[in-house]
Amino acid sequence: DIVLLVNPKWRRQGVGVLLARAIFDAARSLGVNKVIVEMAEEQESGRAIFEQLGFKVEGTLSRHTRDRQGNYHNLQILSYHID
């Protein structure tokens, strides 16, 4: 598992895209055939980064994860086939 987080002061400056591409390139060089990303459904900017790289939404798990306040969130699963 890899976690990609961008400090709020660096958001909207392309840092997330650069980090995601670096992760993607590392996976390719390791011979990985499929990369899977899981994120809360409301993380639209994060999803946009991965969709730019060619990831597609495979499904959504309803009320699958909770935040620190105990609120439930849907979990979206995106994937990209490298081969």
pLDDT of 35 over the 80 cut: yes
Say if residues 28 and 82 touch (Cβ distance below 8 Å).
yes
3 state DSSP class of 58: strand
For the beta carbon of residue 22, count every other beta carbon within 10 angstroms: 11
Rounded Cα distance between 77 and 47, Å, is 10
At 36 the pLDDT is: 92
At 48 the pLDDT is: 87
Listed by start position, the domains of the chain span: 8-81
Residues 8-81, CATH architecture: 3-Layer(aba) Sandwich (3.40)
Rounded Cα distance between 1 and 11, Å, is 22
Say if residues 38 and 57 touch (Cβ distance below 8 Å).
no
Q: Bigger pLDDT: 82 or 78?
A: 78
